[in-house]
Amino acid sequence: MTQQKGEFGTEKTREAALAEIANRIFFRLYQSANMMHKTGTRALDEFGVTTQQWAVIGALSRPQAEDGLSVGDLARFLMVSRQNIAGVVTRLEDQGCLERLRDSNDGRSRRIRLSERGRELWRAIRPAIHEYYDEALAGFSFEDRTALLTGLNRLLDNMKRL
């Protein structure tokens, strides 16, 4: 209750200022992520791809994922629950963008890979993604970008431990 007797606007203490800035950071994080999902999904509207599907397709298109990833692998990589990824994967599978293969080595696991259609979709949406990045980061210098990335990295590392 540090702000109980704080006089805002006139003689704000350093501690109160820190709390105020922290509050704004998390509020902006909340708004920014929502805005990213909204505008990002809108940018890929003609392809019928949401930002989460974009993230999954992007993860599967990496060279390291060429021979497929399990639901658990995807969940760890994206830092979301297995149950969440399962839904996205099912919808992408229904669209024919990826295929689930039983892993012959591990009867529990199913390896998920991009289908040919999924690879075509990835090639198709990449220019739109590139354009979206350019517009969303317009006016950001190289240093501005690395500074923002570093801040988010540190924040994420802290929250991972909570």
Partner DNA sequence: CGATTTATGTCAATATATTGCCTATATGGG
Partner DNA sequence: CCCATATAGGCAATATATTGACATAAATCG
Determine which residue in the list 88, 97, 98, 125 makes contact with DNA, applying CB under 7 A. Answer: 88
Q: Is residue 81 a contact point for DNA (CB under 7 A)? A: yes
Going by their DSSP bridges, the two strands 110-114 and 98-102 should be labelled as: antiparallel
What is the C-alpha separation between 61 and 50, in angstroms, rounded?
Answer: 16
Residues that bind a second copy (CB under 8 A): 1-2, 14, 17-19, 21-36, 39-40, 42-43, 51, 55, 58, 78-80, 126-127, 130, 132-140, 142, 144-149, 151-156, 158-162
Q: Per-residue contact track with DNA, 34 to 53, x per CB under 7 A?
A: x--xx---x-------xxxx
Q: How far does the chain reach from its first CA to its final CA, in angstroms?
A: 22
DSSP letter for 112, please: E
* Residue 108 near DNA by CB under 7 A: yes
Tokens of 43: 């940018």
Provide the minimum distance between the beta carbon of 151 and a second copy in the complex, in angstroms, as a whole number: 4
Near DNA by CB under 7 A: residue from 43, 71, 97, 125: 71
The span of 5-13, 33-41, 113-121, 144-152 binding DNA (CB under 7 A) equals 33-41
User: Tokens representing 111?
Assistant: 């390896």
CA dist 43 and 37 (Å) reads: 10
Question: What DSSP letter does each residue of 91-129 carry, written as one string?
Answer: HHHHTTSEEEEE-SS-TT-EEEEE-HHHHHHHHHHHHHH
Query: Between 30 and 140, whose beta carbon lies closer to DNA?
Result: 30
Q: What is residue 3's three-state secondary structure?
A: coil
Q: Applying CB under 7 A, which residues contact DNA? A: 30, 34, 37-38, 42, 50-53, 70-73, 79-84, 86-88, 91, 105-110
